[in-house]
Homo-oligomer: A and B are copies of this chain.
Amino acid sequence: MWAQVVAIAPNIPALYELHFGVPMAGAILSALNYTLDHTTLANIFLQLNPKFIFVDYQFLDLVLKALHSLTQNHNHINNHQPPPTLVLIPPNIQSSSSSSSSFNLPQGSLDYNQLLELAPPPHLHKFEIVRRPNDERDPISVNYTSGSTGNPKGVVYSHRAVYLNSMANIINMGMARSTITSTTRHATVFLWTVDMFRCNGWCFPWAIAAIGGTNVCLRNNDISADVIFDAITQHKVTHLCGKPTLLSILAKASENNKPLSSRVELVVAGTLPCEHVMKKVSELGFNISNGYGMIEALGPIIIEPWIPNDNVKAKHDQRLRSSVITMEGFDVKDSETMESVPKDGKTIGEIMLRGNTLMSGYVKNPNHNNKETHSGFKEGWYRTGDVGVRHPDGYVEMKDRAVDVVISREGHVVSTLEVEAVLLCHPLVSAVAVVGRRLCKETNDANEQCSSNISSLCAFVKLKIENTNTSNAISSQDIIEFCKERNLPSYMVPNVVIFGDLPLNPTGKVQKFVLRNKVNNSNNGIIF
């Protein structure tokens, strides 16, 4: 139907260009995560059957391994299909001296520069060489989930959805188009700290082009505070985005760097770090906002400014503005009855979305018969898998992932995110994950399959001081006392604290299901 084109590259200009060249050639772009292992990559190649694979020289070995594993294991499947053509993006595509001849490429491979030279010269270009979609709902790209609970799923975006989401991003992030600069407004200069392979870089390749903004590309697999501060100063950056770890990176640099001369908008999507980290980054000159979204909704759908707040209670609120520009509906519903939960700030429901900036569906997966697309939607509403409440003032408060939420012995619904937010404020704590250990018939038989959701709270804690004997530096009881001092209600205070490393998926998220399995399905010597 449509040709698939895969790209594996950091945030380099060539990957930005592919966000235009590939759709304008009538094909579908899949920018893939370069931290995936070659087996997972091979499975994605098998699913997409790409016609071209564009690969940055840094990830050539990874791609060659994946292609090798594909021909070894799946030769019988693709024997009617021509193999994909590899296009190498050499170290410096501007320089003719750096060619792909020094790389060991399969026969028939191309060099990115050579490919560009195949195009007719500019004066022969006509508007008509662009192959426009027949229908605005035709696919433009496929973005893969991290696959923390199974095979990565390919999420299909349409031309319509990415257009609308690009427009919404410009508005949500307050980006000025290049022509309305004045004494008080600066043209948008976007620093690429968010991965372009993540929801197509939150649709920013298209958004920045629409307003005639400037892109500052970074090899984002090598980001440091120095790189960021240098880019901001040199290029007058106005906006950057990414994971909340950006905040920690910047906060650490606060001693070496003077505050910026004009304020920069910084949007992170995920759980915010502790208040004092936020304050440090704010004092450096950043206006911080927090994004809420998911791959299936094309990235953050809500961008809410962070405002310094000394009220400890308010700090735990993860309230979401319900003014979502591109969504027809944004609600918290009982997932059985599909009724909205009452606006009481207490009744838990599932956050659901309906509207124009949602995925078209998942790529058909031979192993799953596309049942994910069906289970992901109910009566036209996309089920986020997040639970939340509605407040009397109309605000929605996101509580937790549905699979992560814990029901306490007393029957309280505990947001593990809220407990983690408090633990992260402990000066010695680097990372945390709170999960529930099911309490089955009040027995100790943890091996028995248990249908009750009532659980005790287990906090897995990674300390900042590496290689330290934890029992000397800090005890479980210290952590528990810290939570009590911070006025956490007793049912939200962890029952047990376990020190050590946390299992991460390729996008850097903690794999809570690993920890949940650990505490629920094995006699692994943890004392409760």
Docked Cα-Cα span, A174 to B182, in Å, equals 11
A171 with B262: in contact, given A179-B304, A289-B180, A321-B179 (CB under 8 Å)? Answer: no
Assuming A183-B263, A263-B184, A305-B182, is B177 touching A174 (CB within 8 A)? yes
Q: How far is the CA of A185 from the CA of B325 in the complex (A)?
A: 20
Q: Contact between A325 and B179 (Cβ–Cβ < 8 Å)?
A: no
Q: Does A488 contact B (CB under 8 A)?
A: no
A425 within 8 A of B: no
B180 touches A305 (CB 8 A): yes
Q: Are A172 and B167 in contact (CB under 8 A)?
A: no
Q: Provided the pairs A174-B180, A182-B305, A185-B174 are in contact, do residues A210 and B262 lie with their beta carbons within 8 angstroms?
A: no
Within 8 A of B (CB), among A266-314: 287, 289, 303-305
Most buried by B among A180, A185, A340: A180
A228 within 8 A of B: no
Q: Is A287 a contact of B167 with CB atoms below 8 Å?
A: no
A177 touches B172 (CB 8 A): yes
Pick from A174, A183, A212 the residue with the most CB of B within 10 Å: A174
Determine the residue in chain B with the shortest Cβ distance to A177.
B171
Q: How long is the Cα–Cα vector from A123 to B303 in the complex, in angstroms?
A: 29
Contact status of A179 and B211, CB under 8 A, knowing A171-B170, A184-B262, A185-B174? no
A289 / chain B contacts, CB cutoff of 8 Å? 180
Does A323 touch B at the CB level, under 8 Å?
yes
A185 to B287, CA, bound (A): 11
CA of A211 to CA of B212, assembled, Å: 22
User: What is the bound-complex CA distance between A516 and B191, given in angstroms?
Assistant: 56
Is A212 touching B323 in the complex (CB atoms < 8 A)? yes
Q: What sequence of 0s and 1s flags, for each residue 316-333 of chain A, a beta carbon within 8 Å of any chain B beta carbon?
A: 000001010100000000
Closest Cβ of chain B to A111, distance in Å, is 30
* Cα distance A184–B147 in the bound complex, in angstroms: 41
Verify if A176 is at the interface (C-beta below 8 Å from B).
yes
A172 contacts across to B, CB distance below 8 A: 177, 180
Distance between A134 CB and nearest chain B CB, rounded to angstroms? 14
Are A325 and B167 interface neighbours, CB within 8 A? yes
A180-B289, A184-B263 known; A171 vs B211 contact (CB < 8 Å): yes
- Chain B residues closer than 8 Å to A177, beta-carbon distance: 171-172, 174
Number of copies: 2
CB of A210 within 8 A of CB of B180, answer: no
Q: Report whether B182 and A171 are in contact in the complex, using a CB–CB cutoff of 8 Å.
A: no
What residue of chain B has the Cβ atom nearest to residue A184's Cβ? Answer: B263
**Chain B residues within an 8 Å CB radius of A173:** 180
Looking at A127, A179, A212, the one whose CB has the most chain B CB atoms below 10 A away is A179
Cβ contacts under 8 Å, A262 to chain B = 184
Contact with B along A110-129 (1 / 0, CB 8 A): 00000000000000000100
Shortest C-beta distance, A241 to chain B (Å), equals 14
What separation, in Å, do the CA atoms of A265 and B179 have in the docked complex? 13
What residues of B have a CB within 8 angstroms of the CB of A183 in the complex? Answer: 263
Which B residues are in CB contact (< 8 Å) with A263? 182-184
Docked Cα-Cα span, A262 to B185, in Å, equals 12
Residues of A182-230 at the interface with B, using a CB-CB cut-off of 8 Å, are 182-185, 210-212
Complex: chain B residue closest to A167, CB-CB: B167
Query: Looking across the interface, which residue of chain B has its beta carbon closest to that of A175?
Result: B171
* A246–chain B nearest beta-carbon distance, Å: 18
| Chain B proximity of A180: nearest CB distance (Å) | 5
Most buried by B among A171, A172, A323, A340: A171
For the complex, give the distance between the alpha carbons of A210 and B262 in Å. Answer: 28
A289-B180, A323-B212 as given contacts; A171 in contact with B174, CB under 8 Å = no
Q: Which residue of chain B has the shortest Cβ distance to A325 in the bound complex?
A: B210
Given contacts A180-B289, A210-B325, 17 further A-B contacts (CB under 8 A): A127-B340, A167-B171, A171-B171, A171-B210, A172-B177, A172-B180, A173-B180, A174-B177, A174-B180, A179-B304, A179-B305, A181-B305, A182-B263, A182-B305, A183-B263, A184-B263, A210-B323
Q: Which residues of A contact B (CB under 8 A)?
A: 127, 167-168, 170-174, 176-177, 179-185, 210-212, 262-263, 265, 287, 289, 303-305, 321, 323, 325, 340
Sorted nearest first, the 3 A-B pairs with minimum C-beta distance are A174-B180, A182-B287, A167-B167
Q: List 12 A-B contacts (CB under 8 A).
A: A171-B171, A171-B211, A172-B180, A173-B180, A174-B176, A174-B180, A179-B321, A180-B265, A181-B305, A184-B184, A184-B263, A212-B323
